[in-house]
Amino acid sequence: MNDVAKEKELEEVFSDYGSGSVGLAQINTIVGDIEYNSKKVLKYINHAQNIGLDLVIFPELTLTGYPVGDAILRYPLLADTNVKWLNEIAKLTTKTVALVGFLEPANDKNNKFYSSVAVLGEGKVLNVIRKSFVDKNYEFNDCKYIISSDNSDISTINVNGIRYAVSVGDDYLCENKFSGQNFDIIINCSASVTYTKKEQCKFGRLSALSQKYSAPLIYVNQVGAVDNASFAGLSAVFDKEGKLFARAKAFDEQFLIVNPSKNLGKIYPLIRGLELTSEDDGKFSLDYEPDMERTYNILIQGIKDYFGKTGFERAVLGLSGGLDSTVCAVLLTDALGKENVFGVSMPSKITSDTSKNDAQMLAQNLGIGFTQAPIKEMFDTTNNCLQELFADVEQNWDCRYKKSFTPDNIQARSRAMFLWGVSNEFDSCLPIATSDKSEAYMGYATINGDMSGGFAPIADVTKTKLFALARWMNENRPQKNAIPQSVIEKRPGAELAINPETGKPLIAEDALMPYEFLDEVIWRIENKHQSYDDMLNSEFLYEKSHKVIENKHQSYDDMLNSEFLYEKSHKVTPEQKQQWLEKFYRRMGTALYKKSIMPPYVIVDSPSYNFSQPITSGRINYKNESEETIRAKLQRIF
């Protein structure tokens, strides 16, 4: 949101490509803040006019921002307001033609709208082009409010003798709409959310369309995050052979100038991970390295935009010396600046010296604020008060647990109490929930404890991927090895309880299952939609002989420098596997409630993580039953 820097950047990418030059305004909008969005649009139009472009193109629904969701009903002036701003922008658009996405009220229908693109020029609205293919985009419930135009043909406009066919969003998928039309260049104004392995698939389709009609194609996408939804940008231009000749940056606002008639434009490098196509996803892999740059960037954008768009600037988080809080601290530092991050080490009597030292060293390395606030007093007071309370409750109620998680949870909740206190006391500050995806699936997080916060940066990143991300950040951030090696090497545990069998702090994998196995189960559910039986009958990577890059007391460098990576395979008996899978399903069912109160996060891996399922369906049957079993069960009723 630094406007000076943005304007400077704008200047840098201006080029004089002559007649037929087009500007792709890949902007980051704020949903509903029409004034903010309109001013930004006008700035880009001004620049376009100043340097004499023929045309400047904005993403779909730029004036309102996308997705608007139910705000349309709650703020009934929204559409009228964006039309007013559009009309005023039009008056200032005289030299260049601008294509601006806006929400057009369908006058004959209540609370129904078109996703339209206005053609601005000569100081007025020259034309309005309506989206004709409104997909059932369930995620954002588009078709609840947006209706399709009944244009059977694609609309065209003529700018300085060049004929442009203008498509909005998924219109470009309806290839037949282009048939029999006369146009030189295809335009697609889009607001297309990014997921793992989505981009190349989309680019392939766009390229195919330009080939089919032997016309260059200009694709303008929005950039930025809206809550958990991320938009990558990557606006692009293909020549009439379908070859890419210009592409904007990923995860950054940009004004890209091209001349499609002359194949002029610049290709900014693709962030690694965005080049992956869906054909790559046949198998689970623990080698996350190819996806690390994308993962890092999507997280950084997600944090930046959540804070920026809600008006927060600073973050406070607990630093346990463990992996989750460590990765969060690094991400927050990179997204918000070290001066805006404060880490609090809140040791208990279980906390090891290593953990304390790691937390402090991390903070030192990052240069963030840091202090230690032991929770012993909080724990003792709470525990004392609770013991009295429990004794009272026990007079009425039976079934007090012999062994409970109460002491573990008191620790986690005391820490959250500290962090929310800082958030209360200091302006513009959000406390951070450090839950990761593996633990969120298992409900292995404390309500009002580590899963509580104003934002949960890594809630869609599995544990094994977090290890890879920590290594990657140590290698690829300007400051190398900010994360202490011991954080990456130790086996994760919340340090909330002592394992009676070992006398040492309980390791999470002992309570759950090996993370390599757990994360593959999640992957199979989200990406392959597999069942319990499918998994029972599949060989997991954990069981195979494979390269070890996780959880070993060996650094990345050690391994890179070894002649070959250490290979291992675990013997997993069918009984063990069944037991793990049953635990997984049982825990996933009872974790539905926790998922429902998870703070806002960034979707990194799979839209499936955002699945909604009734909490009261936690007893859902995941096992395949034979007809004989079913018959026997019913006969008993009959």
Q: How far is the C-alpha of 504 from the C-alpha of 486, rounded, in Å?
A: 17
Give φ, ψ of 372 to 5 degrees: -110, 130
The CA distance from 128 to 157, in Å, is: 10
Picking from 256, 255, 260, 231, the residue whose alpha carbon sits closest to that of residue 244 is 260
Question: What is d(CA 195, CA 206) in angstroms, rounded to the nearest whole number?
Answer: 17
Distances (CA, A) of 235 to 10, 21, 133, 430: 15, 15, 20, 33
In angstroms, give the least distance from the CB of 328 to its own copies.
18
- Contacting residue, 2, 12, 77, 107, with its own copies by CB under 8 A: 77
191 binds its own copies (CB under 8 A): no
- The whole-angstrom separation of Cα 108 and Cα 392 is 65
- Asked if residue 89 binds its own copies (CB under 8 A), the reply is yes
| 3-class secondary-structure state, position 433 | coil
Name which of 209 and 416 has its Cβ closer to its own copies. Answer: 416
Per CB under 8 A, the list member of 98, 410, 466, 591 interacting with its own copies is 410
Q: Which of residues 106-125 bind its own copies (CB under 8 A)?
A: 111
Q: Least CB distance from residue 630 to its own copies, whole Å? A: 5
**Site membership for its own copies, residue 397 (CB under 8 A):** yes
Which of 81, 96, 207, 348: binder of its own copies (CB under 8 A)? 81
Host H or E run for residue 305: helix 292-310
| Distance in Å, CB of 349 to its own copies, minimum | 16
Residues 216-245 that bind its own copies (CB under 8 A): 225-227
Three-state SS at 237: strand
Rule CB under 8 A: is residue 598 a binding residue for its own copies? Answer: yes
Distance CA 45, CA 37 (A): 12
Residue 443 in the binding site for its own copies (CB under 8 A)? no
Q: Minimum distance between the CB of residue 516 and its own copies, rounded to whole angstroms?
A: 22
Of the candidate residues 409, 481, 554, 578, the single one contacting its own copies (CB under 8 A): 409
CB distance 21 to 262 below 8 Å: no
Structure tokens at 609: 């993580």
Contact letters for its own copies, residues 336-365 (x by CB under 8 A): ---x--x-x---------------------
- What part of residues 144-163 is at the interface with its own copies (CB under 8 A)? 144
H helices of 319-352, in order, are 323-336
Q: Binding residue for its own copies (CB under 8 A) from 50, 52, 123, 138? A: 138
Cis bond upstream, residue 269 (ω within 30): no
**Nearest distance in Å: CB 550, its own copies:** 26
- 3-class DSSP state for residue 75? coil
- In the block, tokens 């002989």 appear at 545
Write the secondary structure of 142-179 as one string of H (helix), E (strand) and C (coil): HHHCECCCCCCCCEEEEECCEEEEEEEHHHHHCHHHHC
Q: What is the distance between the alpha carbons of residues 467 and 489, in angstroms, rounded to a whole number?
A: 9
**Identity of the residue, 147 or 565, whose beta carbon is nearer to its own copies in the bound complex:** 147
CB of 422 to its own copies, least distance (A): 6
Determine, following the binding rule CB under 8 A, whether residue 556 of this chain makes contact with its own copies.
Answer: no
Residues 3-32 that bind its own copies (CB under 8 A): 30-32
Least separation in angstroms between CB 215 and its own copies:
34
Stretch that binds its own copies, among 215-223, 444-452, 477-485, 506-514 (CB under 8 A): 444-452
Span of 4-12, 180-188, 211-219, 623-631 interacting with its own copies by CB under 8 A: 623-631
502 Cβ contact partners less than 8 Å away, ≥ 6 residues apart: none
Using CB under 8 A as the binding rule, the residues of this chain from 511 to 540 that contact its own copies are: 525, 529-534
The footprint of its own copies on residues 285-314 (CB under 8 A) is 305-306, 309-311, 314
Q: How far is the CB of 127 from its own copies (least distance, A)?
A: 21
CB 68 within 8 A of CB 37: no
Query: Per rule CB under 8 A, is residue 566 in the interface with its own copies?
Result: no
Q: How many CA atoms lie within 13 A of 241 on its CB side?
A: 3
CB of 212 or CB of 631, closer to its own copies: 631
CB 164 within 8 Å of CB 156: yes
Nearest alpha carbon to residue 483 among 371, 330, 339 = 330
* Shorter beta-carbon distance to its own copies: residue 287 or 533: 533
Cβ at position 113, least distance to its own copies in Å: 14
Q: Kindly tell me which residue out of 330, 416, 459, 602 binds its own copies, with binding defined by CB under 8 A.
A: 416
**Residue 472 corresponds to which tokens in the numbers above?**
């990657």
Out of 50, 406, 537, 562, the only residue in the binding site for its own copies (CB under 8 A) is 406
Least distance between its own copies and beta carbon 368 (Å): 8
